[in-house]
Amino acid sequence: MNFFRRWHAHHEFRHHFGHGHHGHHLGRHADGFAHLLLARVGAKLDLDDEQRRRFAAWIEQIQQQRDALKSAARGPELAGLMAGEQFPREPASQLLQARLDALRAAGPGLVNAFADFFDALDTEQRQALRFMMRRFDGAQHRHAD
């Protein structure tokens, strides 16, 4: 096995997925991350065009929810809450509840988009996806420790 080629692929994967550098992999380069994720998962699972379309639709919905949460944390409402001498707990709780309600409302769409993608996979692709998720989960636990 060519060591450099293997190292480069590993380095590129870790770099694009946010490991080993500052910033979160779903940060300001989320569109690039989504494209890379689609390409990597598509290649690993050998997705056809319809499966890629379904996977992309699911990733797009995740990004929309991420953007909504991000705007809530940086929005003018939050700045307004911190403008006074004391933090207004009740309006802050109402704002949080509104954001959570919006996430709950989007939940079924996220589930349906993933279900559409998952159901479009054949048995081997599902097994490969399960394996990828176990490896990803294990890597997350190793990095958290």
pLDDT tens digits, residue range 82-133? 889 999 999 989 888 888 888 899 999 999 999 999 999 999 999 999 999 8
Cα separation, 128 vs 40, in Å, equals: 13
Does residue 22 belong to any structural domain of this protein?
Answer: no
122 half-sphere exposure, CB direction, 13 A CA radius: 5
What is the span of the domain harbouring residue 79?
Answer: 30-144
CB-based contacts of 33: which residues, under 8 Å, 6+ apart?
16, 17, 18, 25, 26
* pLDDT, tens digit (0-9, with 9 covering 90-100), for 1-29: 444 455 455 545 555 444 444 444 444 45
Does residue 5 belong to any structural domain of this protein?
Answer: no
Q: In the chain, how many domains are there?
A: 1
Asked if 106 and 62 touch (Cβ cutoff 8 Å), the reply is no
